[in-house]
Every structure is written in structure tokens, then in C-alpha cells.
Chains A and B, each alone.
Chain A
């Protein structure tokens, strides 16, 4: 061992009574940097060494309160504000139902936090390079002996005097502990290439594994069974029902939707044009309603302004403009008829729109037409 430096002097005692009295005497002489090593905690030793009360109770209090408040605040925020849902008719913030989780998080944080604080803050563990490790002394006190160690850093430390003193108070075996200057000055270099490579490789492995599990494995057989079932999806070609290759079924002839009266003018657009009158007046509310429904149901083909500029990338033939002479000259009833019954490739919207909504759309289409072909007096 090069560069030997003295760490301290140790003395070994045989019985718990001896070590208690030794600790008292060491303390009485005025040594501050000393420690007693015993294979198990000895009753009365903290008092003999005059150790203060352990601070761990305060750690536990702080961690526990943090856990309690964090859990309660999180649940209150999530259930009450972030995404309020009515569950079993209870209030959005049902305090009794929060008690179990609050309690569990309190215990979890208080226990784990206090233990980690003790090990890493108070004890400065892990520490396997302490000078006492691998000495004959620690091998004895970890088994059946009781030892006391006076450190060289103590102000009153004089090697010979301390050895004499320990012998005088009854130490059976006195040993001087040295440590190596190199181990003392050893600095951890986190930029060492081995360590950096280790970090990079572990980051790659973890992220790669996560990516593969979440994005590939989950979609591979057999984990995709809920997704890829033996069923016929809507909009998908299937021969299951026969030769028409549709997986969806057309309702039988004469089917009417619930709560709807039959359309009196079915197949008679001219009659509808003549007889039907829009019951809505063009208030802002009605126009807004019409605009909303138009944007949802009509605009994908007709475009937002009725110009026939479909957004469907040519999957369906583009419809003619709503601003043609023909449509402008139709009565409200005729437009209502087309929405209700469909025309050419346009299907009926009766199942999606109520009569009132249809009339609101008619109002909105009228407004669009007037805006596109504004007369001079409209500008005044």
C-alpha cells in the first residue's frame, strides 16, 4: 500500500457492558470524531455516545405530507377540473372516495422517501471504499466483537496517546487503520468513454425495446386479436351476404326511421316546390345552425361556399354549383326536397337531419346564394 495515511485507531472489546463504558469514557475525554461498531444495536449506546435524536421522524413527516397533498391535489384536479365525469351520481370531487388512494400514496412516499434519505443523505451509501472495509477490525465487529474507532481527524488525536488510552480502558486488541492516498483522491469521471458508451447503449436498447413493443409487437399476432377480428367491417368489400360485395346491408324497402313522419311529397319535387314553405325566419341563430349543419353534411361535396369544390379528392363526382340559375330559381321547398330525397348520386339526408335542421340549411344556402350574387342594393 503506497502513500499510507492514518485513518484512525480501533480497539476491540468483548462484552456489551465494556463497550458501553468505553464509549462513555471516550466521550468524556472529549473526542468528537469516534464511532462504535457493534454487530447489532446496543441498548443505551446512543445515550452513552451522546447522539442527538434521529432526524428521520421529520423526514417521514415531510415526505408523508407531500404524498398526502400531492395525491389529493392530483385527484381533485383530474376528477374535478381536467376531465369531470359523473360516476355513480356522486359529486365530481367525492372526498370519501379519495381517502384510500391518499392514504396509500402517503405511506408509499413516507416510507420510501425516508429510507432513501437515510441511506443516501445521512449515511452517504453506497460506500464500499471506506477505509474500515476489509480490515480485521470490521470482520470482528460484524460477527461477535464490539469495537470503537477514534478517527485521525479528531482535534485531540495523537496516535500513541490514543493507542495507550484504548488499552487503558480495556481494549483487548488495538489496531491502526490506514488508507491509501490514491483511493482517497479518486474522482469519478463521468465522461469516461466506457461510461458514456454504456449510457448510450442502454438508452438505445431501452428506447428501441419500448418502440418495438409499443409500435410493432402490439400490432403483431397474437396481441392484435381485439383489433383484427373475424368480423365484417363497414365500408369493406365482402361476399358474405351475396353477390353485391357489400358488407353493409341496405334497409328493406319501405323502412322508415323512428320518430319521423313520412315525406308527403316523395317523388314529386315540383309539388314540394309549390306547397312547402320554410317555417324558419332568417335570424342569426337559425343561420348559424344552418351553417353548422351545412359545414358538417353538405360542405364535403358542395364546398364551404356551395361552389361544388369537393374536398373528397375525386372519390365522388363533383356536384354542380349551388349558384346556378336553376338552383337559385328553385323554391325553398325544392331544396328541402333534394336534401330529404337525394338527387343523382347525392343520398338522402333524412336519417341524419331533422326537418328543422333541413330548413335551417335551406336558409343558409339562400344566404350563400345571395352573397355570391349580390345585387347593388345589398351593398348599401
Chain B
């Protein structure tokens, strides 16, 4: 059998040339946007404006405008925080973990997913700030020398969260920017207008494609991927500690860290897949973000969705097996109590529908996979709702039980968070290459030297 027969097919379809790649990827940046883009931007910025108004009202009148009250002190704010941090995890998984596993199909989607990570973490970071009620005092979250000689509580999961999320944002941003440097240099050398040329010169830092630099660049990419991999696992682990370290029934479980990480990757992939389906259609990236890539993402969603389903089952099992009266009450109450509607939305969207991905036809059908991914995002939002609200609403003391009802302002801020995320994403699409030019070129057919065994190895 010849070598060609067992060779993996290229991840980029249609055998484009390097110049084609340059032109196709920078097309959204070079051309002035069409009316569809402005309609999309109009919708997202309207959503953002709704959020800004609701947050402004919250700052002015206080968080009494929200539905939170005793005993449900954490509600939409923390649900949204966990949801958005989770969305971010897919980006790091694609850019770092799949890089370490040498998955070439990641090249087409890595840049975009990293951008989504950054915007999702920015959106997420908003919620703890507005949740504290007085966001202008957020500086107290960091340990700094002050005249009170007071320090933050280093044993609190909420403080770990501050460190985890800020580290995650910084490292993701650095990783993303490092990846962008060569592409900025390519855009600099393609730029026709003077302003573009100056902007891309500054952003590219003067990158000149030297192989003495590429040599270190590949190393730093490996190092960053190596650091980002445990980091991304630690972030949602620490987010889950916010719950697991407490003694609340339904929260105080050791399964939370892996369960949260799997859920985060699950929802993140669903979001990346949703947005990519639209992007590849609008900008004609179908041969770079191929159907094969989308199918592989669906497989990951199937795997993580099944893990999440296992975690739901295991929670129930442990609630019974532990013999703890409060645990078992909380879980039975989740499934059959006043919040049963939320629980069954969660189970059907997260566990039942993704199982359809076992069928290859469904995995490769764009319309169906889009709908399933939307449902997964809905389901994952409800997962956080179920975890947070049902446990708090029915805790140890029956006398304080209550039913949580969100207010219009809560929904306004939720809409605003989507508005912020998608507005940033749309601006990103127009301003920067959404696909890594250098990385895609490197995985094209014929982009790497042929391995002539008698040549390469005798050199040593």
C-alpha cells in the first residue's frame, strides 16, 4: 500500500494557495461591511443597551431591583457568571488542549474560539462586579497594602475565583495575542491605506517572519498551551468550589469540579459551533471550517454531554447512597418539586437531545446540529439555574423556604450580556483575522517539506 493511501486527508478543502488564504481570511477586514452586518450589529448593540440601562438602574437604585432575596441570595447574576465562564472554556480547549494533542483540524477554528473565550470571560467578569452592588469598590478583592492592615481571605473560594478568572483572562489574552502577531504582520504588508498600515505595524510589534523567531515562537506556543491546559481545568474547578466548599445540600459534593469542567466544555463547544456555522456561511469559509471540523465538534459535544448526564445520575445515586436526608430531599425536590420544569428542561436539552449525535447523518446535518447546539446552551444555562436556585430555595430550614422569581431587570441584564458578547464578537470579525492565517498555511497540502528519510536523518 502506498503512503498516500493511508495519509489523513487535509483539514483544509479545495487545495487553496497561500495567496488565496490571505485574501479569503482578510476579506471581511478589507471590504466595507454590508447591510446585513449593520443589521446584526444593530440588534446586538440594542441588546447591549438594554443591559446597560438595567445595570445603570441597578447601580442607582441598588440590587433590590433584582429578584434575589432571602433565601435565594444568588440567582441570575451568579448563574450568568458561571454560564459565561463556561462558554469561554471551549476556546482554551480548542486552542491549547487540542494543540497538545496535535489535532490539525483545530487550526480553522482556534482563533475564533480564543476570541470567544476572551469575550465570554469579559462578560462573565461583569457579573461578580455588579453582584457586589458597589462595583467601584471591587479593588478590595485584591490583596493590597492598606491603612486598615486588612487582607483578603485567602481561604475563601470566592477569592480563589478572583485569582482564577483574572489569571484565565490574562493568559487567554496573551495566548490570543501571540497567535495574532504574525497575522497582524501579514495584514501590515497587505495594507493599502496608511492608517491600517500604522495600526497593524504597532500591533505586529515589527514581526518579520524570521525563522530564528519562529523557532522560539513555536516553543512559547507549546509552553502557553501547556500552562493553559491545567489553567482551564482549574478555572471551572474553582468556580465549582464556590458551591462545593459550602455546606448547602445539593452543592456540597465532590463530583462538582469534573462535572463543571465537562459542562463548561459542553456548553462552550455548543456556542462555538453555533457562531461558526453562521460565520462560515457569511464569509465563505466553508472549505476552512469544514463539515468534518463541525462533525468532530459534535463528537466532543456528544462525549461531554454524556459525561454531564452521568454526573446528573451520579448526583442522584450519591444523594441516596450517602443516606443524608437533606441531600436526598434536595435532589428529589429538584426533579419533582416546584422547579421540576427547570430540571426537565435541563435534562432534556443536555442529556437527551445531544444523544442524537450518535447518528452520523445528524452529526453532518448543519440545520439539526445548529438546533441541538442552541438547545444545549439553553440546557446548560438551566443547569446552573437548577443548581443555584433549587438548593438555596429549599435549604435546611423549611421556615425560610421560598420560590424565586426573577424580575424584568434580571432578564434585561441577561439579554445585555448576550448583547455585549455578540457585539464584541462582531467588532472582532471586522477588525482582526478570525482564522489564523499562519496556522492555516502551515497545514495546507504541500506546506511542509517532504520527509526524505535518507536526507533528513543523515544530516545529524
Contacts of A118 in B (CB 8 A): 216-217, 220
Complex: A217 Cα to B174 Cα, angstroms: 34
**CB < 8 Å: which of B17, B170, B188, B442 contacts A108?**
B170
Whether B6 sits at the interface, judged by CB under 8 Å, is no
Instruction: Assess whether A144 is in contact with B22, with CB atoms less than 8 Å apart.
Output: yes
Kindly supply a per-residue 1/0 record for chain A positions 111-142, scoring 1 wherever the CB is within 8 Å of any chain B CB and 0 otherwise: 11011001100110111111011000011011
A43 at the interface (CB under 8 A from B): yes
Kindly provide the distance from the CB of A60 to the nearest chain B CB, expressed in whole angstroms: 5
Over the window 438-449 of chain B, the binary record of Cβ atoms lying under 8 Å from chain A Cβ atoms (1 yes, 0 no) is 110110001111
| Contacting residues, chain B, for A142 (C-beta < 8 A) | 185-186, 188-190, 209
Please judge, given known A-B contacts A78-B151, A87-B153, A218-B136, whether A133 and B208 are in contact too, CB under 8 Å. yes
Expressed in whole angstroms, the Cα–Cα distance for A232 and B423 within the complex equals 47
Contact of A45 among B174, B211, B231 (CB under 8 A): B211
Asked if B202 is at the interface (CB within 8 A of a chain A CB), the reply is yes
Q: Determine the distance from Cα of A85 to Cα of B148 in the docked complex, in whole angstroms.
A: 14
Are A40 and B441 CB-contacts (below 8 A) given A51-B212, A78-B143, A125-B205? yes
Chain A contributes a number of interface residues (CB within 8 A of B) equal to 76
Q: List residues of chain B with CB within 8 A of the CB of A316.
A: none
Decide: A143 and B189 in contact? CB cutoff 8 A. yes
**Residue B397 is within 8 A (CB to CB) of chain A in the complex:** no
Q: Using Cβ atoms and an 8 Å threshold, which residues of chain B touch A226?
A: 134
Nearest A residue (CB) for B173: A112
Is A144 a contact of B160 with CB atoms below 8 Å?
Answer: no
Hey, which chain A residues are within 8 Å of B53, CB to CB? Answer: none
Establish whether residues B450 and A38, one from each chain, have CB atoms under 8 Å apart when the complex forms. no
Most buried by B among A97, A110, A126, A143: A143
Point out the residue from A54, A111, A127 that lies within 8 Å of B171, measured CB to CB: A111
Return chain B residues, CB-CB under 8 Å to A217: 136
Q: Could you mark each residue 63-79 of chain B with 1 if its beta carbon is under 8 Å from any beta carbon of chain A, else 0?
A: 00000000000000000
The answer to whether A88 and B143 have CB atoms under 8 Å apart is no
Q: Is the CB of A100 within 8 A of B241?
A: yes
A21 CB, nearest partner CB in chain B, Å: 8
CA distance A142 to B213 in the complex (A): 14
Chain B, Cβ-Cβ closest to A101: B163
Identify which of residues 401-428 in chain B touch chain A, using a CB-to-CB cut-off of 8 Å.
none
24 A–B contacts, CB within 8 A, in A order: A17-B449, A36-B210, A37-B211, A38-B209, A40-B441, A42-B211, A44-B456, A48-B459, A54-B216, A54-B218, A56-B223, A60-B223, A75-B154, A79-B154, A83-B151, A98-B154, A100-B164, A107-B230, A118-B217, A119-B205, A122-B216, A138-B209, A139-B189, A223-B136
Residues of B in contact with A (beta carbons under 8 Å apart) = 17-19, 22, 59-60, 62, 134, 136, 143, 149-151, 153-157, 159-160, 163-164, 166-167, 170-171, 174-175, 178, 182, 185-186, 188-190, 201-202, 205-220, 223-224, 227-228, 230-231, 234, 238, 241, 437-439, 441-442, 446-450, 456, 459
